[in-house]
Amino acid sequence: MTKRFALGIFDDEDVLLHAVENVREAGVKIYEVFTPFPIHGIDDALGIERSRLPIAAFFFGLTGLAFALWLQIYTLGFDWPMIIGGKPHIALPAFIPVSFELTVLFCCHGMVITFYTISKLYPRWKTPVLDVRSTDDKFVMAIEVNESTDMTKLTQILRENGASEVNQKEMSKF
Amino acid sequence: MATLTHQESVTAEYLEVSPGTRRKFMLIIVAGVAVLVLGVIMSMLGIGAHHEAAEGAAAAHGAGHGAGEHHGSAPWLKRIIVSLWHNNVFFTGVSAIGTVFMAIQYVAYAGWSVVVKRINEALSAWLVPGLVIMMVVFGLNFINYDLFHWTVPGIMDKGSETYDAIVAGKSGFLNIPFYLIRMVLFLGLWIFFTKRLRDLSLEEDLHGGTEYFHKSINVSAGFLVIYAVSSSMAAWDWVMSVDVHWFSTMFGWYVFASWWVSGIAAVTLCTILLKQAGYLRWVKESHLHDLGKFMFGFSIFWTYVWFSQFMLIWYANLPEESVYFNQRLGGFNGQYTWLFFGNLIINFAFPFLVLMTRDAKRQMIMLKIVSIAILVGHWSDFYLMFMPGTMKGDNGFVIEIGIALIFLGAFLILFTKRLSQASLVPLHHPFLDESVHHTT
């Protein structure tokens, strides 16, 4: 599916932050903002809802914990019981380090994979970039447009809010 | 929430300690004295004492200690001396955290914490009385050697009646002159660096410029190196040498973790109380959020260190090591057991579960409850470090709480006095603007 975007290019992150507020106030829906580095407060300015990633993280962690406990209880308690230090076969305090590590391992990897998948940051043949300068020193505000959009008015709004240039770009697979 | 528009310029604000507040602090001290007197009377009448338990445990314990066992003061006097030491180690340690926290913020070039910096500075005001009290109480130890078994005369002399080979083996480090030198040196250094950072900060208020900031970074870096070594050794000296036969390589970290998380809880609690009293206009949810994250994270850190110490001793099960936990888990008729598990609940489970969500870390009421819980919890953590080694089964709570209240009142008087001496906002700190606009 091909989408068309109007791109406002900004030179400064402060200008961009104020522009985001003003453009949204003018009733324009911002598709996404691309910046070379994270900008504090931009999530709130864009009105992005809080991520649900922590919920996923919880379940990844739970999976890791369950796996770790099963692994240790089954191997040390049932499959090949050994007496270590005169402790019971299933000595839970001794299982804490491994359980903790596997919880963290599952949680981290699960979160990274989930995040990359939903943000489409996984490796691809062709990486869609709206404006390559957003990886260097420019701040790009992308607004999805179609035939009925009043481009002159949109350009004017962006220019008034400090955009140094306004471009258009078509993008497939975005 | 992010506020993108620039607010009105930051102005100085001064804390005014009203006579009513000062009276409240005095009232805490008076209440402490009353509880202390009550406790002494109760102890003298033998109410709530565990004499039988103590004797039973001492008999069982005597085998390990051999001829080194000595008879201390009357229980009430012994409890006062031990409790003075316990409270002083706790309050002095928490007090030092003020400077440590500030130093870390300087070295890390952190901006967010500038609006709470003055609270950290004021927190360290207790270091000077802390040193004085520590020396006095160390002197009180020599009445009947109630605190430190290794100070008993002749314990390091072969052929003496009180000779103890294990203690004698530590005489190179644990002897009274060297111990006193270390005590004065460590606290002296902490006081020196605290004063240096405070002076630089006050100079900055007068003259402005980045010169003081850069100097502070150098001072902070030096302090952190010294503190890292000295806090660990202080933990051996002030806390671990109470159980002189026992040792743990995790102990320095363990005590530091306890001080550190209590110090952050103290800063958080003061911030919230000041904010609710109408001060600290520039402290926003985001700053509280960061303090909450610190409390949450370092509660887990404390547990991590605690567990690292516990599990290795539990698993290896070497008699000379596991005796420490044996005393706390079921020793002396099990009278420390509830405290042992209670500590884990109040210092780990409670902050962990309550502060887990982002919203909880941004609400004053949640942070308030948790920071009070952490302070109480780590006070009792130190209680559990000191009491089994000194009081054996003869411990109690009334005298101890009385002395804790006296310390608290005095600490608050000194703290608010220091806090009211300078503007609550360090006006010329180069990162002030960043801190005011801080968002998380």
pLDDT for the residue B2: 45
Per the CB < 8 A criterion, the answer to whether B329 and B389 are in contact is no
Closest CA to B236 of B347, B144, B148, B318: B148
Contacts for B27-31 with beta carbons within 8 Å, 24 or more apart?
B27/B409, B28/B405, B28/B406, B28/B408, B28/B409, B28/B412, B29/B405, B29/B406, B29/B409, B29/B410, B31/B405
Q: Do A17 and B4 touch (CB under 8 A)?
A: yes
Closest CA to B245 of B358, B120, B148: B148
Minimal Cβ distance to A18: which of B4, B317, B358: B4
Suggest the residue from B287, B315, B355 to mutate for an interface test with chain A (most A CBs closer than 10 A): B315
**B150 C-beta neighbours (distance < 10 Å), count:** 23
Minimal Cβ distance to B315: which of A40, A41, A85: A85
Q: Assign residue A167 a region (left: φ > 0; alpha: ψ between -120 and 50; beta: otherwise).
A: beta
- Average predicted confidence (pLDDT) for chain A: 90
Domains of chain A in start order, with CATH, are 2-50+130-172 (3.30.70), 59-118 (no CATH)
**B343 C-beta neighbours (distance < 10 Å), count:** 23
pLDDT for the residue B48: 60
What residue spans define the domains of chain B? 23-45+70-436
Q: Which residues contact B310 (CB under 8 A, 6 or more apart)?
A: A93, B325
Residues of A in contact with B317 (CB under 8 A): 85-86
Q: Do B439 and A40 touch (CB under 8 A)?
A: yes
pTM, rounded to two decimals: 0.86
CA–CA separation, A122 and B292 (whole Å): 34
CA–CA separation, A122 and B389 (whole Å): 58
Per the CB < 8 A criterion, the answer to whether B235 and B244 are in contact is no
Per the CB < 8 A criterion, the answer to whether B430 and B213 are in contact is yes
CA–CA separation, B197 and B217 (whole Å): 9
CA distance B315 to chain A (A): 6
CA Rg, chain A, in Å? 25
| pLDDT tens by residue, chain B, 440 residues | 444 445 557 888 898 888 999 999 999 999 999 999 999 999 888 776 555 444 444 444 444 444 445 567 788 899 999 999 999 999 999 999 999 999 999 999 999 999 999 999 999 999 999 999 999 999 999 988 989 989 998 888 888 888 988 899 998 999 999 999 999 999 999 999 999 999 999 999 999 889 999 999 999 999 999 999 999 999 999 999 999 999 899 999 999 999 999 999 999 999 999 999 999 989 999 999 999 999 999 999 999 999 999 999 998 888 889 999 999 998 888 889 999 999 999 999 999 999 998 899 999 999 999 999 999 999 999 999 999 988 888 888 999 999 999 999 999 999 999 999 999 999 899 999 889 888 87
pLDDT for the residue B67: 41
Which phi and psi (to 5°) does residue A87 adopt?
-95, 160
Q: Do A96 and B311 touch (CB under 8 A)?
A: yes
Reduced to 3 states (helix: H, G, I; strand: E, B; else coil), residue B408 is helix
- The 10s digit of each residue's pLDDT in A15-68 is 999 999 999 998 889 988 999 999 888 888 898 888 899 999 999 999 999 999
What type of residue is B13? E
pLDDT for the residue B60: 43
Tell me the DSSP string of B249-313.
Answer: TTHHHHHHHHHHHHHHHHHHHHHHHHHHTT--TT--HHHHHHHHHHHHHHHHHHHHHHHHHHHHH
Reduced 3-state DSSP string for A58-120: HHHHHHHHHHHHHHHHHHHHHHCCCCCCCCCCCCHHHHHHHHHHHHHHHHHHHHHHHHHHHCC
CA distance B1 to chain A (A): 7
CA–CA separation, B150 and B287 (whole Å): 46
CA Rg, chain B, in Å? 23
Residues of B in contact with A87 (CB under 8 A): 315
CA-based torsion, B361, B365, B368, B371: positive or negative: negative
CA–CA separation, B320 and B250 (whole Å): 16
User: B319 touching A, CB under 8 A?
Assistant: no
Minimal Cβ distance to A41: which of B2, B311, B317: B2
> A28 is written with which tokens?
């324009």
pLDDT for the residue B65: 44
ipTM of predicted assembly, 2 dp: 0.71
Residues of A in contact with B358 (CB under 8 A): 50
Question: Closest chain B residue to A51 measured between Cα atoms?
Answer: B358
Residues of B in contact with A41 (CB under 8 A): 2, 4, 439
CA distance B331 to chain A (A): 20
Q: Do A93 and B311 touch (CB under 8 A)?
A: yes
Per the CB < 8 A criterion, the answer to whether B438 and B111 are in contact is yes
Q: Do A86 and B317 touch (CB under 8 A)?
A: yes
Closest CA to B197 of B128, B124, B260: B124
CA–CA separation, B338 and B433 (whole Å): 48
Mean pLDDT, range A147-158, rounded to an integer: 87
pLDDT for the residue B7: 53
Mean pLDDT, range A97-114, rounded to an integer: 96
Per the CB < 8 A criterion, the answer to whether A32 and A174 are in contact is no
CA–CA separation, B418 and B107 (whole Å): 24
